[in-house]
C-alpha cells in the first residue's frame, strides 16, 4: 500500500494540516494502518520536494495547511487508474521460513506448521470479531474499515489453506529426502541468477491468462 498516494488523494479533497491528515487517513482505513505524525510530515516533505503539494494557510493555532498542486492531482488520477503491481518474487516471512525449515535436518516442520496455524486461526477469529463490532455497518467510515478488514480476513483464510496444502505436500515426501546439506560449491560473486524466479512469474502469468 502506498501511504504517499493515499495522503495525496486525501489532500485532493481539500487542504489539511498534519494531525488532521493522519485522522482522515485513519477514518478511511479503520485505523488498520497506524501512522505516526513524524511519518506524515516526512511524507509531506517528500511530496513538497517533488512538487506535488505546497504549504498554504496557517490558522490561529499555528497549523500549517498543506494543499495539493496540479501535478499532485495528475498523480492521484494516475494512481487511482492503475492496477497495483505485485513483485515477481516474495518476501513473505512465513513462506520463506517454511521453505528453509523444510530443508533443515532435525526440524519438526509439522510442529512449525501447527504453531503457525493456531496463530493464523486466532488472528482470523479476531478479524471476524472486529468486522461485526461496528455499530453502523452502512456508514461510510464503517464501510471503509470493513473493506480493509475483509481483505485481511481473505488473506488470513488463504494463509490457513496454504498451511493445509503445505502440510499435505510435505507428508508425501520422506523427511530425509527434503534435507539439504551445505553445498561444497563456491558461489560466484554478484547476485544469484534470476532464472527460477522468472520461471515462477512466467508460469503464474500463463496460468492467469488461461483461467
pLDDT digits 0-9 by tens, 58-117: 999 999 999 999 999 999 999 998 888 777 766 788 998 998 888 888 889 999 999 999
CA separation for the pair 31, 1 (Å, rounded): 14
CA separation for the pair 12, 76 (Å, rounded): 8
| Residue from 158, 164, 154, 153 nearest 113 by CA | 164
Asked if residue 65 lies in contact with residue 56, where contact means CB atoms within 8 angstroms, the answer is: yes
- Output the pLDDT for position 140: 80
In a shared domain, residues 28 and 59:
yes
pLDDT digits 0-9 by tens, 24-60: 998 888 777 788 889 999 999 999 999 999 999 999 9
Asked if residue 64 lies in contact with residue 48, where contact means CB atoms within 8 angstroms, the answer is: no
Residue 124 above 80 pLDDT? yes
| CB neighbour class for 122 (10 Å; exposed up to 12, middle 13-18, buried from 19) | exposed
- Output the pLDDT for position 44: 96
- Output the pLDDT for position 211: 44
Which of 18, 50, 80 marks a domain boundary?
80
In this structure, is residue 209 part of a structural domain? no
- Output the pLDDT for position 128: 87
176 pLDDT band (50/70/90 cuts)? low
More confident residue, 95 or 188: 95
Q: What percent of the chain has pLDDT over 90?
A: 46
In this structure, is residue 166 part of a structural domain? yes
More confident residue, 183 or 22: 22
In a shared domain, residues 61 and 33:
yes
In this structure, is residue 73 part of a structural domain? yes
In this structure, is residue 206 part of a structural domain? no
Which of 48, 80, 112 marks a domain boundary?
80
**How far is CA 8 from each of CA 51, 59, 211, rounded to the nearest angstrom?**
12, 21, 36
Grid cell for residue 147: 473493506
In a shared domain, residues 116 and 157:
yes
Which of 30, 56, 80 marks a domain boundary?
80
Grid cell for residue 158: 488463504
Count the domains in the chain. 2
In a shared domain, residues 75 and 101:
no
CA separation for the pair 67, 72 (Å, rounded): 9
Which range marks the domain in which residue 11 is found?
3-80
- Output the pLDDT for position 136: 59
Amino acid at each position: 500500500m502506498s501511504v504517499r498516494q493515499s495522503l495525496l488523494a486525501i489532500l485532493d479533497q481539500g487542504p489539511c494540516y498534519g494531525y488532521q491528515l493522519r485522522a482522515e487517513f485513519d477514518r478511511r482505513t479503520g485505523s488498520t494502518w497506524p501512522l505516526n505524525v513524524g511519518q506524515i510530515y516526512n511524507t509531506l516533505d517528500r511530496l513538497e520536494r517533488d512538487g506535488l503539494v505546497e504549504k498554504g494557510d496557517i490558522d490561529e493555532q499555528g497549523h500549517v495547511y498543506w494543499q495539493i498542486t496540479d501535478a499532485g492531482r495528475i498523480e492521484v488520477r494516475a494512481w487511482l487508474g492503475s492496477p497495483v503491481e505485485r513483485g515477481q518474487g516474495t518476501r513473505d516471512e512465513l513462506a520463506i521460513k517454511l521453505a528453509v525449515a523444510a530443508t533443515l535436518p532435525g526440524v519438526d516442520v509439522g510442529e512449525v506448521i501447527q504453531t503457525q496455524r493456531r496463530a493464523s486461526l486466532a488472528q482470523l477469529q479476531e478479524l471476524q470479531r472486529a468486522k461485526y463490532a461496528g455499530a453502523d455497518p452502512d456508514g461510510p467510515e464503517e464501510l471503509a474499515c470493513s473493506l480493509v478488514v475483509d481483505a485481511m480476513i481473505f488473506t488470513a483464510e488463504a494463509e490457513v489453506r496454504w498451511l493445509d496444502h503445505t502440510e499435505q505436500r510435505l507428508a508425501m515426501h520422506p523427511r530425509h529426502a527434503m534435507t539439504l546439506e551445505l553445498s561444497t560449491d563456491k558461489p560466484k560473486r554478484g547476485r544469484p541468477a534470476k532464472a527460477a524466479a522468472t520461471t515462477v512469474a512466467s508460469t503464474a502469468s500463463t496460468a492467469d491468462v488461461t483461467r
